[in-house]
């Protein structure tokens, strides 16, 4: 059975502000019901992408198709108010002069008064704020405001929900809880959503699909798991998670020789036998083992509560990161027994 | 099947990110063009006049006009610089009696039109006035040749009068600049071994320089705009010359040429303001510092500081106000007539209409820029705001030229095809006066509305649009309630400025039509100053309204700092 037509198709789009190109030749597709995430450092073009999909940003090239309809192309932009999209913002963007109920009712202009009220109430119930209906936005906490914003954007049953850094203004604990809550709500309602963030934790909590953006292009469009464990470029490997690169030499298409050990895995085609390569080693790939013959000197340590992040130095001067259970309290300068346990061999050709 | 795709629209220009021409964009461009019309008309007529009087002008009166204008501007510039900076520095850096009140009292002279001060000081300081009379009886002098007393009706008098009411521009901006300077900066300078005065000259003043430059530029624009004072004091400046050439000699081309000469002065001032604003970004952090500690003055210094700040308030506001109140009471029966009521009503209606139109247009322009944040719209809104720099008399010439051309054109057509004359439709009508007011005060209106627009997050617009609301609904339902403060301020300021406006009204008003301002000018120039006081008092009191708003915002920012 062929896949159903994707809900959103972004085809080779380019967006420019005067001379600066913010988004350059980006393509991706989104199936109905998917929660996707655009992740990238500030200025990478992710917000511009979102604005383009919403219809606030015009295209210099390419097309955007929504539900089988071309909504943007070089010479045409369907008005945002005709796209039936929902949008949630970092600053919540609640209308300060309207009550919570009036805010949520804002997108329900074409319903009868009765239908509108019941829809407002049911949306507010879903986000657990039905008792706050008559209050004004400034009387609510940040988390509550964001819930109202979400209810407001979902009330007209949008075809696609766009979220621009929705959790960035909230404190760490709340953002994780709200992130999970929002994810469950969207799953329940079957909403398709694109979330834009610079925070990888947000992206991992939220997104089934993650697009890592860099300088106006999507570097990798993949599942969250793959983006972390199988980055397709040095940029993605650097940007996502922590880790260091070890120099090595390809022995054959399944083995790489490094100064720590011979590492097993799939070596990409571009790296021929005998060529110099860089191997990505995550802190969770370096396991602490007092019995190991291999040791490294602790040069820095960073207490993280449940774990220590040690910076280790091998005799050759090469540095590694290792995540170690925080019960193992080792001093600076101590030699720590380690072994390497690599589930995913991530290899890039050594350019230097 | 895929839904039908609407026909693609043509691109407007490469400036235009939006690619889509809509009402807001076209309206903004149109308004900008309308606002530019007077300037274009002047330039055109100055270079292609019916009768070339350039050579005549240059060989006779023009050099004198230019010289007097220059002297006046230099004098006023120095005066407002010294007064504005010294008072601003004193209230921001020292603690002394009445300081908190002086901080906003220093703004009040802004409410008094220069011509009103000119009439009052003439009355006070002329030969028959109370000051010279008192001196005479004190020293036993009898005739003017017995002693020397400066003639108020002179260039020096003009400089003094305008300096007294225009220094608040410099004060306001310099004060804000001083407040934004980090105390750490000054402490660093002191620790590096510079005394307080050296610190002022070498650190505070240079950092505040861009802001001060803007203040001086604005003050000088008003100087150039003034007609009432220079006319009353018989100072032959360009403005006075423009009136002579036009109303005296009936030479429109010559008036346009003098107007163009004035515009070059305006250009210089605009450049000064522009460079000030450009550098302001680098020099000022925009932050307000909470832990500012003012130096507590004691002994003689305390009284010196009080004197520095109190003098301009007394001379520029309190004394004129007292005189106005006094004369208003004495001459009330003569001054308050049916005609006075009529003139007041004229002023009210005219200013209200101008305010409503200016604010309506400013809303369209500011919102158009918000919808289409591109260079074209930025230029359009800048051009639409240019009027504030154009002296009223110049603007009036610029308005009358195209209006008269329009009237003549319509008249000719009507005669040819309809067989009767339409006469003058626009020129000499209130439309011309209102048009001039709107062009001249569009800048404050756009400024106030844009300022309150910037406080509305762009995500509010996006939220409303994605919820299915069209742009005009977003403006009406979501923006207006949020920016109503700015809209009201704009309405008030345009209203008050229109009420005070003299030079353009004098030229453009219909025959026998008087406003309070022209009425005051008329009877004061007949030396019936006591009789003119009531009208002037009304103008000053109305003029106080925006100044009070301004000082309240100063008070609020002061409260926030504590």
User: Is A81 in Cβ contact with B468 (below 8 Å)?
Assistant: yes
Which whole number is the average pLDDT over A310-333? 85
Nearest CA in chain B to A157: B467
Inside any domain, residue B341 = yes
Q: Check: CB of residue B439 under 8 Å from CB of residue B362.
A: no
User: Is A76 in Cβ contact with B8 (below 8 Å)?
Assistant: yes
User: Is B482 in Cβ contact with A96 (below 8 Å)?
Assistant: yes
Range of the domain at B176: 61-322
Q: Are residues A39 and A143 in the same domain?
A: yes
Q: Are residues A52 and A199 in the same domain?
A: yes
Q: Check: CB of residue B102 under 8 Å from CB of residue B212.
A: no
Inside any domain, residue A141 = yes
**pLDDT value at residue B30:** 92
Domain ends where: B293, B322, B351? Answer: B322
CA distances from B438 to B32, B352, B354, B446 (A): 12, 11, 6, 11
User: Is B468 in Cβ contact with A156 (below 8 Å)?
Assistant: yes
**pLDDT value at residue B16:** 36
CATH code of residue B523 = 1.10.3720.10
DSSP state of B201: I
User: Is B478 in Cβ contact with A81 (below 8 Å)?
Assistant: no
The complex's ipTM? 0.79
Q: Are residues A233 and A259 in the same domain?
A: no
Q: Are residues B295 and B366 in the same domain?
A: no
Q: Are residues B267 and B345 in the same domain?
A: no
Best of A54, A79, A88, A158 to mutate (most B CBs within 10 Å, chain B): A79
User: Is B463 in Cβ contact with A93 (below 8 Å)?
Assistant: yes
Render pLDDT for A180-225 as a digit per residue (tens, 0 to 9). 889 999 998 899 999 999 988 888 888 889 999 999 999 999 998 8
Whether the per-residue pLDDT at B501 is higher than 50: the answer is: yes
Q: Are residues B233 and B271 in the same domain?
A: yes
Lowest mean pLDDT among A86-100, A299-313, B17-31, B465-479: B17-31
**pLDDT value at residue B561:** 47
Q: Are residues B84 and B35 in the same domain?
A: no
Confidence band for A21, pLDDT divided at 50, 70 and 90: confident
Nearest to B38 by CA among B397, B519, B455, B418: B397
Confidence band for A260, pLDDT divided at 50, 70 and 90: confident
Q: Are residues A251 and A117 in the same domain?
A: no
Inside any domain, residue B6 = no
Interface contact A91, partner B, CB < 8 A: yes
Per-residue burial over B252-280, b if 16 or more Cβ lie within 10 Å, else e, is: bbbbbbbbbbbbebbeebbebbeebeeeb
CA distance B470 to chain A (A): 6
Neighbours of B357 (CB within 10 A): 17
User: Is B459 in Cβ contact with A69 (below 8 Å)?
Assistant: no
Confidence band for B288, pLDDT divided at 50, 70 and 90: low
Which whole number is the average pLDDT over B406-424? 83
Nearest CA in chain B to A55: B466
Contacts of B460 in chain A (CB under 8 A): 93, 95
Q: Are residues A82 and A148 in the same domain?
A: yes
Best of A87, A159, A194 to mutate (most B CBs within 10 Å, chain B): A87
CA distance B469 to chain A (A): 6
Best of A5, A50, A97 to mutate (most B CBs within 10 Å, chain B): A97
Inside any domain, residue A2 = no
Q: Are residues B315 and B345 in the same domain?
A: no
Is B88 buried (19+), middle (13-18) or exposed (0-12) by CB count in 10 A?
A: buried
User: Is B460 in Cβ contact with A81 (below 8 Å)?
Assistant: no
**pLDDT value at residue B555:** 61
Q: Are residues B291 and B437 in the same domain?
A: no
Range of the domain at A115: 8-237
Q: Are residues B298 and B429 in the same domain?
A: no
Nearest CB among A55, A68, A162 relative to B2 is that of A68
Query: Among A314-328, B145-159, B227-241, which range has the highest average pLDDT?
Result: B227-241
Domain ends where: A202, A237, A272? Answer: A237
Inside any domain, residue B183 = yes
User: Is A75 in Cβ contact with B463 (below 8 Å)?
Assistant: no
Nearest CB among A76, A89, A153 relative to B9 is that of A76
Q: Are residues B367 and B276 in the same domain?
A: no
Q: Are residues A68 and A109 in the same domain?
A: yes
Inside any domain, residue B477 = no
Inside any domain, residue A81 = yes
Nearest CA in chain B to A70: B5
- Which residues of B touch chain A, with CB atoms under 8 Å apart? 2-3, 5-6, 8-9, 11, 17-20, 374-375, 457, 459-460, 462-470, 478, 481-482
Beta bridge partners of A214: A217
Which carries the bigger pLDDT value, residue A70 or residue B17?
A70
Whether the per-residue pLDDT at B3 is higher than 60: the answer is: no
Q: Are residues A87 and A187 in the same domain?
A: yes
**pLDDT value at residue B1:** 36
Count: domains in chain B:
2
User: Is B17 in Cβ contact with A68 (below 8 Å)?
Assistant: no
Q: Are residues B193 and B219 in the same domain?
A: yes
Q: Check: CB of residue B495 under 8 Å from CB of residue B385.
A: no
Inside any domain, residue A101 = yes
Neighbours of B382 (CB within 10 A): 13
Q: Are residues B283 and B343 in the same domain?
A: no
Nearest CA in chain A to B373: A17
Query: Among A328-332, B81-85, B546-550, which range has the highest average pLDDT?
Result: B81-85
Interface contact A149, partner B, CB < 8 A: yes
**pLDDT value at residue A206:** 83
Nearest CB among A68, A93, A156 relative to B457 is that of A93
**pLDDT value at residue B404:** 87
Whether the per-residue pLDDT at A178 is higher than 70: the answer is: yes
Which whole number is the average pLDDT over B512-541? 90
DSSP state of B10: P
Interface contact A153, partner B, CB < 8 A: yes
Q: What does pLDDT average to over chain B?
A: 85
Count: domains in chain A:
2
Q: Which helix (H) or strand (E) holds B471?
A: helix B471-473
Residues 6+ apart with CB under 8 A from A139: A132
Nearest to A214 by CA among A337, A41, A344, A79: A41
Contacts of A164 in chain B (CB under 8 A): 459
- How far apart are alpha carbons B21 and B546 in whole angstroms? 37
**pLDDT value at residue B13:** 35
CA distances from A123 to A93, A318, B311 (A): 18, 55, 65
Scan for tokens 């003017």, then name that residue: B144
User: Is B470 in Cβ contact with A93 (below 8 Å)?
Assistant: no
Contacts of A69 in chain B (CB under 8 A): 2-3
Domain ends where: B302, B322, B342? Answer: B322
Domain ends where: A237, A262, A282? Answer: A237
Interface contact A54, partner B, CB < 8 A: yes
Render pLDDT for B50-68 as a digit per residue (tens, 0 to 9). 666 677 777 778 889 999 9
Contacts of A166 in chain B (CB under 8 A): none
CATH code of residue A25 = 3.40.50.300
Q: Are residues A178 and A316 in the same domain?
A: no
Which whole number is the average pLDDT over A277-302? 87
Render pLDDT for A261-272 as a digit per residue (tens, 0 to 9). 888 888 887 778
**pLDDT value at residue B360:** 95
Neighbours of B49 (CB within 10 A): 17
User: Is A89 in Cβ contact with B465 (below 8 Å)?
Assistant: no
Contacts of A18 in chain B (CB under 8 A): 17, 374-375
Contacts of B457 in chain A (CB under 8 A): 89, 91, 93
Domain ends where: A237, A272, A287? Answer: A237
Best of B464, B467, B477 to mutate (most A CBs within 10 Å, chain A): B467
What ranges in chain A are assigned the alpha helix state H? 46-54, 100-105, 113-126, 142-154, 172-189, 200-206, 224-229, 234-239
Q: Are residues A227 and A297 in the same domain?
A: no
User: Is A153 in Cβ contact with B466 (below 8 Å)?
Assistant: yes
User: Is A68 in Cβ contact with B466 (below 8 Å)?
Assistant: no
Confidence band for B554, pLDDT divided at 50, 70 and 90: low
Nearest CA in chain A to B18: A58
Inside any domain, residue B52 = no
Q: Are residues A200 and A282 in the same domain?
A: no
CA distance B158 to chain A (A): 49
Nearest CB among B8, B375, B466 relative to A87 is that of B466
Domain ends where: B269, B303, B322? Answer: B322
Q: Are residues B150 and B207 in the same domain?
A: yes
| Strand extents, DSSP E, B231-346 | 295-296
Which carries the bigger pLDDT value, residue B476 or residue B562?
B476
Nearest to A198 by CA among A41, A35, A36: A41
Inside any domain, residue B287 = yes
Nearest CB among B20, B457, B466 relative to A91 is that of B457
Q: Are residues B252 and B172 in the same domain?
A: yes
User: Is A89 in Cβ contact with B19 (below 8 Å)?
Assistant: no
Checking DSSP bridges between strand A295-303 and strand B295-296, what pairing results, if any? unpaired
Inside any domain, residue B478 = no
Nearest CA in chain B to A86: B466
Q: Are residues A91 and A226 in the same domain?
A: yes
Q: Are residues A139 and A153 in the same domain?
A: yes
Nearest CA in chain A to B482: A97
Which carries the bigger pLDDT value, residue B345 or residue A261?
B345
Lowest mean pLDDT among A2-16, A248-262, B204-218, B541-555: B541-555
Best of A56, A108, A137, A196 to mutate (most B CBs within 10 Å, chain B): A56
Nearest to A280 by CA among A267, A298, A293: A267
């Amino acid at each position: 059975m062929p896949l159903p037509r994707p809900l959103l198709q972004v085809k080779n789009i380019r967006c420019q502000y005067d001379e600066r190109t913010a988004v350059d030749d980006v393509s991706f597709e989104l199936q109905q019901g998917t929660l996707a995430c655009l992740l990238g450092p500030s200025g990478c073009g992710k917000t511009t992408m979102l604005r383009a999909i919403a219809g606030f940003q015009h295209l210099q090239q390419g097309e955007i198709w929504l539900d089988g309809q071309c909504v943007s192309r070089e010479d045409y932009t369907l008005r945002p108010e005709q796209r039936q999209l929902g949008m949630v913002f970092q600053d919540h963007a609640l209308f300060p002069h309207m009550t919570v109920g009036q805010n949520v009712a804002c997108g329900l202009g074409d319903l009868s008064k009765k239908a509108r009220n019941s829809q407002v109430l049911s949306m507010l119930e879903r986000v657990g704020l039905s008792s706050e209906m008559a209050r004004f936005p400034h009387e609510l906490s940040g988390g509550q405001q964001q819930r109202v914003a979400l209810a407001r954007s979902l009330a007209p049953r949008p075809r696609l929900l766009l979220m621009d850094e929705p959790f960035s203004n909230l404190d760490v604990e709340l953002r994780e809880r709200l992130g999970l809550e929002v994810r469950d709500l969207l799953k329940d309602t079957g909403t398709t959503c694109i979330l834009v963030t610079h925070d990888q934790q947000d992206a991992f909590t939220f997104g089934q699909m993650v697009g890592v953006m860099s300088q106006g292009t999507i570097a990798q469009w993949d599942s969250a798991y793959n983006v972390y464990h199988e980055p397709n470029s040095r940029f993605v490997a650097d940007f996502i998670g922590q880790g260091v690169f070890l120099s090595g030499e390809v022995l054959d298409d399944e083995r790489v020789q490094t100064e720590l050990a011979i590492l097993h895995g799939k070596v990409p085609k571009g790296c021929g036998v005998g060529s110099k390569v860089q191997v990505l080693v995550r802190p969770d790939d370096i396991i602490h083992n007092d019995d190991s013959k291999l040791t490294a000197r602790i040069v820095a340590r960073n207490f993280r509560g449940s774990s220590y992040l040690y910076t280790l130095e091998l005799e050759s001067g090469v540095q590694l990161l290792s995540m170690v259970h925080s019960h193992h309290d080792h001093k600076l300068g101590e030699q720590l027994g380690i072994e390497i346990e690599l589930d995913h061999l991530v290899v890039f050709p050594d350019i230097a | 099947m895929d839904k039908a795709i609407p026909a693609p629209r043509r691109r407007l220009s490469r400036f235009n990110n939006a690619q889509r021409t809509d009402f807001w964009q076209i309206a903004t461009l149109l308004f900008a063009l309308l606002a530019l019309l007077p300037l274009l008309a002047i330039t055109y007529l100055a270079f292609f006049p019916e009768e070339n009087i350039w050579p005549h002008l240059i060989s006779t009166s023009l050099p004198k006009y230019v010289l007097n204008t220059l002297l006046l501007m230099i004098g006023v510039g120095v005066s407002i610089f010294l007064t504005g900076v010294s008072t601003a520095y004193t209230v921001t850096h020292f603690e002394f009696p009445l300081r908190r009140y002086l901080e906003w009292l220093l703004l009040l002279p802004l409410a008094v039109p220069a011509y009103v001060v000119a009439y009052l000081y003439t009355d006070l300081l002329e030969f028959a006035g109370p000051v010279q009379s008192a001196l005479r009886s004190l020293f036993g002098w009898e005739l003017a040749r017995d002693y020397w007393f400066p003639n108020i009706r002179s260039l020096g008098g003009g400089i003094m009068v305008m300096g007294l009411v225009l220094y608040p521009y410099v004060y306001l901006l310099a004060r804000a600049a001083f407040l934004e300077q980090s105390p750490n900066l000054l402490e660093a300078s002191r620790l590096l071994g510079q005394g307080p005065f050296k610190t002022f000259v070498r650190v505070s003043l240079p950092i505040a320089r861009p802001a001060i430059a803007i203040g001086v530029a604005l003050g000088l624009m008003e100087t150039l705009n003034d007609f009432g004072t220079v006319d009353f004091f018989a100072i032959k400046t360009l403005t006075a010359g423009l009136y002579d050439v036009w109303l005296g000699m009936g030479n429109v081309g010559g008036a346009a040429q003098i107007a163009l000469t004035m515009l070059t002065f305006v250009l210089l001032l605009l450049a000064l303001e522009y460079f000030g604003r450009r550098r302001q970004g680098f020099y000022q952090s925009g932050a307000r510092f909470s832990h500012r500690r003012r130096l507590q003055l004691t002994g003689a210094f305390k009284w010196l500081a009080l004197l520095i700040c109190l003098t301009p308030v007394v001379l520029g506001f309190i004394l004129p106000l007292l005189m106005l109140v006094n004369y208003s009471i004495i001459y009330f029966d003569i001054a308050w007539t049916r005609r006075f009521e009529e003139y007041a009503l004229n002023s009210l209606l005219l200013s209200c209409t101008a305010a409503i139109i200016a604010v309506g247009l400013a809303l369209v322009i500011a919102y158009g820029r918000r919808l289409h944040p591109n260079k074209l719209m930025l230029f359009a809104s800048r051009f639409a705001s240019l009027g504030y720099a154009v002296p009223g008399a110049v603007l009036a010439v610029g308005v009358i030229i195209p209006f008269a051309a329009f009237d003549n054109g319509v008249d000719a057509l009507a005669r040819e095809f309809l067989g009767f004359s339409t006469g003058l439709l626009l020129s000499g009508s209130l439309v011309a006066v209102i048009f001039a007011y709107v062009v001249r005060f569009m800048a404050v209106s756009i400024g106030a509305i844009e300022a309150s627009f910037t406080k509305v997050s762009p995500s509010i617009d996006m939220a409303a649009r994605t919820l299915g609301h069209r742009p005009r609904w977003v403006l009406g339902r979501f923006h207006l309630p949020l920016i109503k403060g700015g809209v009201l301020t704009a309405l008030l300021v345009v209203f008050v400025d229109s009420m005070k406006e003299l030079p353009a009204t004098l030229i453009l008003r219909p025959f026998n039509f008087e406003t309070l301002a022209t009425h005051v000018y008329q009877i004061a120039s007949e030396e019936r100053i006591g009789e003119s006081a009531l009208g002037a008092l009304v103008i000053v009191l109305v003029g106080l309204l925006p100044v009070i708003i301004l000082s309240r915002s100063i008070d609020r920012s002061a409260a926030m700092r504590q």
